Amino acid sequence: MAPTEKRARVFVTGRVQGVCFRDSTRRQARSLGLSGWVKNLDDGRVELLAEGPEADVNALIKWCHGGPPIAKVDGVEVHWESEAEGLGEFRITW
């Protein structure tokens, strides 16, 4: 992995389940060329792990603050992690 690439684990709170947040996140991440995944959590949050060029990871995080049109995002918590290759194409996971 190139030194300019970063990995972020992101937790999004609010009305983010049942509003196409995961599918919209996947489309946004793929358009940015990022690797990783997105999933719903039992507590109502959405979690995602995104890896790629720092500017593109930051663009996805910025997008998460709004999400798709019918979502209502109350908060975005970001944890930067050590990079590890092998996440593959950005996908929805369960």
Residue 91 annotated to the active site? no
Could you give the strand order of the β-sheet that contains 46-53, starting from the edge strand earlier in sequence? Answer: 72-81, 5-15, 46-53, 35-40, 91-92
Say if 52 falls within a structural domain. yes
What is the reported pLDDT for 87? 84
Number of domains in the chain: 1
Q: Which of 40, 45, 58, 91 is catalytic?
A: 40
Say if 93 falls within a structural domain. no
Residue 40 annotated to the active site? yes
**What average pLDDT does range 5-19 have in this prediction?**
96
Radius of gyration for the chain, computed over Cα atoms and rounded to the nearest angstrom: 12
Say if 11 falls within a structural domain. yes
Domain span including residue 9:
5-86
Q: Which of 7, 22, 26, 45 is catalytic?
A: 22
Say if 94 falls within a structural domain. no
Say if 92 falls within a structural domain. no
**What average pLDDT does range 32-51 have in this prediction?**
97
pTM of the model: 0.93
